[in-house]
Each structure stands twice: as C-alpha cells, then as structure tokens.
Amino acid sequence: MTGSLHHHGDDDLRPGLVDLAVNVRPDTPPPWLRERLATVDLARYPKQDAAVAAVAARHGRTPGEVLLTAGAAEAFVLIARALQPRHPLVIHPQFTEPEAALRAAGHDVDRLVLDPPFTLDTRLVADDADLVLIGNPTNPTSVLHHREAVRALIRPHRLVVVDEAFADCAETEEHSLADEPGVLVVRSLTKTWGLAGLRVGYVLGGSALIERLRGAQPHWPVSAPALEACLACSAPEAVAEARDAARVLTARRRYLGKVVEAVDGVEVVPGAAASFLLLRTERTEIWNPLRDKGFAVRRGDTFPGLGPHWIRIAVRDEPTSAAFAAALEETLT
C-alpha cells in the first residue's frame, strides 16, 4: 500500500524542463540568507538554544514548546515512532509522508478521503480516531481549512497534528493553529526560503508532547546551517519579507488560475491558498505529453483520493504561467 506514498514532485523533474512540479519559491534562498549561511562555523557541534528561542519568540511560544527537526518529514517520523495511537487517521488527499511514516512504524492507518472540492467535514471523522493528521493549507489540493473547522477536530482523547508546511503562503496567520496548545503543528522553512537541500523544520506543541518527540531524536539532530536558518528566518524582518512574498504569490496564483481555467477540459480546485493549484483534466496521465512540451508537473495519481486525471502545478511568474496554459491547451486539443 505504501509503494507510491514516497513519490514526490522532485521525482517528476527531468533536466531541461520548466519546473512546475516542486513548490519551492523561485529565486531562493535570497542573497542575504545565502550570505548568512556561508558564515556558519562547520567545525563546531551545533547548539540549538538560540534557534529554539528565536522560533519560540516568532510564534509566541516557550522554548519548551518547540522542537527543531531535519525538515517536516523528520517530524512525521518522530510522531510515528514516539507516540502509540490505537486508531490513527490521515485526512486525504494530502502530503503522503505522514502516512508512510506511520505505516513504517507499524501502525494501522485509517484514511478519510475527502471528495472535491476537498473541504473539511468534521462529521466524517470517526470518533475513535485518537490521532488525526491534516494539512493546512493542504498539499496537493491547495485548500485552506478554516481555523475553527480544524479546531473542531480536537477531542479529550485525540491528538490533532496539523501540517502547516505551506502556512507562509498565506498573507496572515488567521487560520494557523501555531498558537493552539492542544495540537501539534509542523512547519517547514523549505518552501518560502528555498532550503529543500538544508532540511529544516520544526514542531510546535505542548511541552510534554514535545519532550516525547525529542526523546526519539538522535543527539545533534539539526545541522549548524539549519539552526542558523531558523534564527534568520524567524527574525521580524524575515517574517515581514515572507508576508510580502505571499502577496506576490497571491497575485501570481490568481493569474495562473485564470489562464488555466480558460482551457477547455480543465477544472481547477477552488479556493487555492498555497503555492500551487490542483487541476483535473479530461485527458489521463497528461503529465507525459506536457513533459514532451517542456514542462514538469506533479502527477496526481500517487495521492490517495486522486487519480490519473489530476495534476498539481506550481505557481510561477506570469510569462511562465501563460506558456504553460498554451502548452496545456495544445495537449488537450
């Protein structure tokens, strides 16, 4: 069952293709961040205290409520290894690594597969689910669930884990649960800051839960450059820069939605809030002819709940989006 759960956007890339498969913001890391990372002393063992304090201050948490991880993917592995849920449930379609991590740790995982347009209906969540995992905004649907809808999942006997890897795509934090004490929130610096190769993320949650996850980590789990990135990207001026980038992204996403919706045989999932759109096309496995036209897109059939009619496309600048829409129209006609 888990064979395709490890397929990701970088697997759809080929040399020379326009990259619409990976959701990292173009032209990142910014020069100031590159320069700062270049100053890190690699001869010293990494010390986390300053980076933990910076992330905690950025979210109004205490240092004991922050766990730094080698990317969001490691956070899901720690959750799967450190916790012992009886009935874990993953709400799909969404990022597949959380389910893969749970299965690798020996857990039997239930799925709740939402139907298009993929809005959350908490009445569909089984009451006996004691660990519920949801993305917000969700990969690959780009749907942003209302904060109160996600909070409605909380039960005395249940832990809710919210994957907010794309939260920086939103212009505000109004629907984030980063300040909610009763959940675990997973964040990533990969998408906004272009740090996929550095592997840096973090978990926010109650101190007792965070300590349990910390117990499953090796010593020195996060590299010195990753710690420096946490420091730099948690600073107020960096948070403001991310908000500016989100405003640019919003305009580009609207343009991309407009040009692809104008193509006959294409449906766009509404309400997109992340750095990508999810499309349904009349033609199956359209990623192959699009590759022949020079574009790499994320195939949708490896996401539970989707299939060969679906593709995910990253938001880029307007000329790139216009060229993609033309290639998509040619492919469908």
Enter the tokens of residue 298: 């994320």
The percentage of the chain sitting over the pLDDT mark of 90, rounded to a whole number, equals 96
Helices (H) and strands (E) in the chain, counts: 11, 12
Choosing from 215, 235, 255, the residue where a domain stops is 235
- The answer on 187 and 92 residing in a single domain is yes
Give 144's pLDDT tier (boundaries 50, 70, 90). Answer: very high
Give 13's pLDDT tier (boundaries 50, 70, 90). Answer: confident
- The answer on 276 and 194 residing in a single domain is no
Enter the tokens of residue 92: 């799909």
What pLDDT, on a 0 to 100 scale, did the predictor assign at position 3?
Answer: 46
pLDDT in tens, 223-277: 999 999 999 999 999 999 999 999 999 999 999 999 999 999 999 999 999 999 9
Beta strands 266-268 and 276-281: pairing type?
Answer: antiparallel
- The answer on 223 and 243 residing in a single domain is no
- The answer on 43 and 144 residing in a single domain is yes
pLDDT at residue 105 above 80? yes
- The answer on 297 and 221 residing in a single domain is no
Which of the 8 DSSP states describes residue 114?
P
Q: Which domain holds residue 157?
A: 31-235
Choosing from 204, 235, 266, the residue where a domain stops is 235
Classify 62 as helix, strand or coil.
Answer: coil
Residue 322: how many other CB atoms lie within 10 Å: 13
Phi, psi (deg, nearest 5) at residue 102:
-65, -45
Give 108's pLDDT tier (boundaries 50, 70, 90). Answer: very high
Measured CA to CA in angstroms, residue 308 lies from 12, 283, 305, 330 at distances of: 14, 8, 11, 19
- The answer on 92 and 203 residing in a single domain is yes
Choosing from 219, 235, 251, the residue where a domain stops is 235
One-letter amino acid identity for 192? Answer: T
What pLDDT, on a 0 to 100 scale, did the predictor assign at position 78?
Answer: 98
pLDDT in tens, 189-218: 999 999 999 999 999 999 999 999 999 999
Residue 147: how many other CB atoms lie within 10 Å: 16
* Dist CA 82 CA 213 (whole Å): 6
Measured CA to CA in angstroms, residue 5 lies from 58, 174, 196, 205 at distances of: 32, 31, 19, 26
- The answer on 20 and 71 residing in a single domain is no
Q: CATH number for the domain including 250?
A: 3.90.1150.10
pLDDT at residue 65 above 70? yes
Beta strands 18-20 and 295-299: pairing type?
Answer: parallel
What pLDDT, on a 0 to 100 scale, did the predictor assign at position 181?
Answer: 87
Q: CATH number for the domain including 91?
A: 3.40.640.10
Phi, psi (deg, nearest 5) at residue 260:
-80, -30
The number of folded domains in the chain is 2
Q: Residues 275-290: what's their mean pLDDT?
A: 97
* Dist CA 78 CA 227 (whole Å): 19
- The answer on 173 and 67 residing in a single domain is yes
- The answer on 288 and 220 residing in a single domain is no
- The answer on 251 and 227 residing in a single domain is no
- The answer on 225 and 207 residing in a single domain is yes
Q: 3-state SS of 193-223?
A: HCCCCCCCEEEECCHHHHHHHHCCCCCCCCC
Q: Residues 325-331: what's their mean pLDDT?
A: 98
- The answer on 35 and 21 residing in a single domain is no
Q: Residues 173-202: what's their mean pLDDT?
A: 95
The percentage of the chain sitting over the pLDDT mark of 70, rounded to a whole number, equals 99
CB 226 within 8 A of CB 199: yes
Enter the tokens of residue 104: 């690798």
What pLDDT, on a 0 to 100 scale, did the predictor assign at position 2?
Answer: 40
pLDDT in tens, 27-63: 999 999 999 999 999 999 999 999 999 999 999 999 9
Residue 51: how many other CB atoms lie within 10 Å: 26
Enter the tokens of residue 254: 């609207």
Classify 187 as helix, strand or coil.
Answer: strand
Residue 12: how many other CB atoms lie within 10 Å: 21
Judge residue 17's burial from the number of C-beta atoms within 10 Å of its C-beta, 0-12 exposed, 13-18 middle, 19 or more buried. Answer: middle
